[in-house]
Amino acid sequence: MIPEPLKNELQRRVAQAVTNREAAVDVMKELQRHYGWLTDEAVEEAAELLSLTPLQVEELATFYEMIYRRPVGRYVVHVCDSISCWNMGGETLLTQLEKLLGTKVGGTTADGDFTLLPCSCLGNCGNAPAVMVGERQFGRVLPDQIQFILSELRSSNP
Amino acid sequence: MLCFRILFMEQVLFKHNRPGRMTTFDEYRSEGGFVALARALAGMSPDEVQQAVIDSGMRGRGGAGFPTGKKWSFVPRNLPGPRYLICNCDEMEPGTYKDRVLLERNPHLLVEGMALACYALGVQHAFIFIRRGYEQAADNLRLAVAAAHGAGFLGENVRGSGFSLELDIHQSAGRYICGEETALINALEGIRANPRAKPPFPAVKGLWGQPTVVNNVETLANIPSIINGGPAWWKGLAATPEAAGTKLFCISGHVVRPECFELPLGMKLGEIIDGPCGGMRPGSTFKACIPGGASTPYLTKLHWDVPMDFDPVAKAGSRLGTGGIIVFDQSTCMVAATLNLIRFFARESCGWCTPCREGLPFVRHILERIEAGQGQAGDIDILREHVRLLNHAFCALAPGAMGPVDGLLNHFEDELQEHITAQRCPFEGTHS
């Protein structure tokens, strides 16, 4: 169950929209922020807020790259695997990250801190290879830099 | 000679930029910002604004290059009910980051451009559809919208003109197909973003069934300069008499300075790479490039002198696209590069139509086996056949996806053949 203040905030967002479902992506994102991922419960709650069926929400949730329908770690490490990053060593970076985190692509570290996912172009092509951790972008990511970024995040408060 | 030209090239989109930060609203205002809007509202009719855009020869900067004024003219006049403008900032085309740079540096230009476009089109409610991952750009845009509101350039009865406008920002959650304009409209409505059938075109029946114009960020950001300097002056900013205006080229790959530059449209490919980009990085020689984002066929050294403008690049067998130039050096395996591109498109296919949903994974499979040293004699013919077949898809995604394959067949067939004959990738271990 989501707390009352969040529910009220989302109801206000829906009320501002031209039609209820226009707010669908915003509502899914906020619920995901609350739960860490879009849980089955969140899908039901989104449906109620948006006057949709859970199936209609599911259809949207599974469509978008940044809506997670499975549990993820505290931070999701998105490694761009599109052409500009591929051209500048993106594949090597992804392999290094697998080693650093001790998990395969798609997996989550044992401590639940990081989930490693490849992703489509981050629009940071001049700074390839690019990585997005949570909502923060990093460019020209060298192996020792990513190690530093990850350890900073790991020691930060939840 | 080259340096001289670049130094004195006129810029309109990056003119107000500050190094390393966003230009403030007050800075933009003090350098002539919102003068075009104030002038249009005080002394020009909506039709005159539209005519100026038609006369400028502006072609859409989102990839397709459709004439902007013409697109606007398709909106039926005197139809009851609201009409909408959507700014397409779903910049998901790999190799493209110009709209992000523009919004991070000077979002005010877009706000003013949208206000002018809305005035010309009779729009009172406009949307900016922005992709995921562009958090900084979205934050800056929110600041710019708030500042414009505060100064009375947005909201009810702008500058006492009777013209009213609200600008809403919609942040997406990441999917390439949302950049296709009818898919974008579905996404904005909160519907799964499959493309819609055309006709009816959005100009007649778009957002919530109402007349809707969808324009790219860079397109709209140019409108203030067209009004300020006049269409003839703006057109003359280009490098050739056929081209019109400047263009944001965003470069990535094996060059010394892979950055986003505002350059005259029609500047030659080689001039862009040797000039602003600083040439190839040490140890690299130019092998090929993608001229305008992932869906455009390769250009090679043969095309060094092609003017980077819509028609000349089309004549060279490719497309200007978004202006996202991706440069490859001699160490690059073009089969592997094409495989990377096809993997992207196969993953991003929305799955709505069969040619795209089934065809792209099949093409990926063929390229995978060629790259892995298991290519078969008929594979090149299969690829060629699919360039033709995938043209018959519901939207432009599949034909675009086959652009690089088409380029591979046209310019690097020998490299493909070498993979198949030797049963291995000749570039194994050479690429960075």
- Written as one string, the DSSP assignment of B315-339 is HTTS--TTSEEEEEETT--HHHHHH
Residue B212 lies in a domain: yes
| Pair B275, B308 in one domain | yes
User: B377-397 pLDDT, tens per residue?
Assistant: 999 999 999 999 999 999 999
Spatial contact of A32 and A68, defined as CB atoms under 8 Å apart: yes
Q: How many CB pairs under 8 A join A and B?
A: 137
CB-CB neighbors (< 8 A) of A21 in chain B: 189-191
Asked whether the predicted pLDDT for residue B429 surpasses 80, the reply is no
| Pair B324, B372 in one domain | no
Count Cβ atoms within 10 A of the Cβ of residue B357 and give its class: 0-12 exposed, 13-18 middle, 19 or more buried.
middle
d(CA B164, CA B65) in angstroms, rounded, equals 30
Pairing of strands B212-216, B84-89: parallel
Compute the average pLDDT of residues B135-140: 97
In this prediction, residue B6 has a pLDDT band, given cuts at 50, 70 and 90, of: low
Tokens of A84: 């500009």
Above pLDDT 70, what percent of chain B?
A: 97
Secondary structure class of B255 (helix, strand, coil)? strand
Compute the average pLDDT of residues B233-256: 97
- Distance of CA B395 to CAs B184, B352, B353, B359, Å? 13, 10, 9, 14
| Pair B67, B29 in one domain | yes
Amino acid at B35: V
Cβ of A63 within 8 Å of Cβ of B193? The answer is yes
Residue B365 lies in a domain: yes
Computed over every residue of chain B, the mean pLDDT equals 96
Residue B117 lies in a domain: yes
Tell me which of A62, A94, A125, A127 to substitute to probe the interface with B (most B C-beta atoms closer than 10 Å). Answer: A125
Pairing of strands B324-329, B246-253: parallel
What is the CATH classification number for the domain harbouring B293?
3.10.20.600
| Dihedral over Cα of A98, A101, A104, A107: its sign | negative
Quote the pLDDT of residue A154: 85
| Pair B132, B273 in one domain | no
Residue B430 lies in a domain: no
| Pair B201, B251 in one domain | no
CA angle A39/B130/A13 to nearest 5° reads 55
Quote the pLDDT of residue B428: 84
Amino acid at B397: L
ipTM for the predicted complex: 0.96
C-beta neighbour count of B200 within 10 angstroms:
13
Quote the pLDDT of residue A140: 95
Q: Is B135 on the interface with A (CB under 8 A)?
A: yes
d(CA B387, CA A157) in angstroms, rounded, equals 52
User: A80-130 pLDDT, tens per residue?
Assistant: 999 999 999 999 999 999 999 999 999 999 999 999 999 999 999 999 999
Above pLDDT 90, what percent of chain B?
A: 96
d(CA B21, CA B101) in angstroms, rounded, equals 10
- Output b/e per residue, B311-336; b: 16+ Cβ within 10 A: ebbeebbbbbbbbbbbbbbebbbbbb
Of B329, B349, B376, the last residue of a domain is B329
Spatial contact of B103 and B302, defined as CB atoms under 8 Å apart: no
- Distance of CA B338 to CAs B294, B333, B342, B376, B408, Å? 9, 9, 6, 18, 7
Secondary structure class of A114 (helix, strand, coil)? strand
In this prediction, residue B244 has a pLDDT band, given cuts at 50, 70 and 90, of: very high
Residue B428 lies in a domain: no
Asked whether the predicted pLDDT for residue B28 surpasses 80, the reply is yes
- Distance of CA B91 to CAs B20, B100, B132, B295, B368, Å? 21, 8, 9, 13, 28
For residue B324, the distance in angstroms to the closest alpha carbon of chain A comes to 9
Which of B171, B192, B253 is nearest residue A84 as measured by Cβ atoms?
B253
Q: What is the pTM of this model?
A: 0.96
Spatial contact of B33 and B122, defined as CB atoms under 8 Å apart: no
Quote the pLDDT of residue B4: 45
Of B329, B344, B359, the last residue of a domain is B329
Residue B358 lies in a domain: yes
CA angle B414/B420/B424 to nearest 5° reads 105
| Pair B162, B39 in one domain | yes
d(CA A122, CA B48) in angstroms, rounded, equals 39
For residue B193, the distance in angstroms to the closest alpha carbon of chain A comes to 8
d(CA B342, CA B326) in angstroms, rounded, equals 16
Of B310, B329, B348, the last residue of a domain is B329
Number of domains present in the structure of chain B: 3
Cβ of A83 within 8 Å of Cβ of B171? The answer is no
User: B281-317 pLDDT, tens per residue?
Assistant: 999 999 999 999 999 999 999 999 999 999 999 999 9
Q: Is B351 on the interface with A (CB under 8 A)?
A: no
User: B336-371 pLDDT, tens per residue?
Assistant: 999 999 999 999 999 999 999 999 999 999 999 999
Asked whether the predicted pLDDT for residue B1 surpasses 60, the reply is no
CB-CB neighbors (< 8 A) of B337 in chain A: 83, 86-87
CB-CB neighbors (< 8 A) of A27 in chain B: none
| Pair B38, B147 in one domain | yes
| Pair B6, B54 in one domain | yes
Secondary structure class of B286 (helix, strand, coil)? strand
CB-CB neighbors (< 8 A) of B294 in chain A: 82-83, 121
Residue B167 gets which letter from DSSP? E
d(CA B311, CA A34) in angstroms, rounded, equals 50
Residue B52 lies in a domain: yes
Give residue for tokens 């350098």.
B31
Quote the pLDDT of residue A155: 84
d(CA B134, CA B136) in angstroms, rounded, equals 6
Q: Which helix (H) or strand (E) holds B128?
A: strand B125-130
* Closest of B373, B377, B371 to residue B408, by C-alpha: B371
Quote the pLDDT of residue B233: 97
Tokens of B320: 């200007």
Residue B21 gets which letter from DSSP? B
Tokens of A80: 């761009």
Q: Is B182 on the interface with A (CB under 8 A)?
A: no
Domain residues for B340?
A: 334-422
Residue A123 gets which letter from DSSP? S
Quote the pLDDT of residue B187: 98
CB-CB neighbors (< 8 A) of B341 in chain A: 83
Quote the pLDDT of residue B2: 47
* Domains delineated in chain A: 4-61 (1.10.10), 75-155 (3.40.30.10)
What is the CATH classification number for the domain harbouring B414?
1.20.1440.230
Cβ of B132 within 8 Å of Cβ of A65? The answer is yes
| Pair B49, B138 in one domain | yes
| Pair B90, B204 in one domain | yes
- The DSSP line for A20-33 is GGGGHHHHHHHHHH
Residue B431 lies in a domain: no
CB-CB neighbors (< 8 A) of A136 in chain B: 135
Spatial contact of B224 and B216, defined as CB atoms under 8 Å apart: no
Quote the pLDDT of residue B159: 93
| Pair B258, B281 in one domain | yes
What are the residue ranges of helices labelled H in A36-113?
40-50, 54-61, 83-87, 90-101
Provide the β-strand partners of residue A78: A117, A132
Tokens of A121: 């172009």
What is the CATH classification number for the domain harbouring B69?
3.40.50.11540
Residues of A with CB under 8 A from a CB of B: 18-26, 28-29, 50, 59-60, 63-67, 81-84, 86-89, 119-128, 132, 135-137
| Pair B46, B151 in one domain | yes
Quote the pLDDT of residue B432: 53
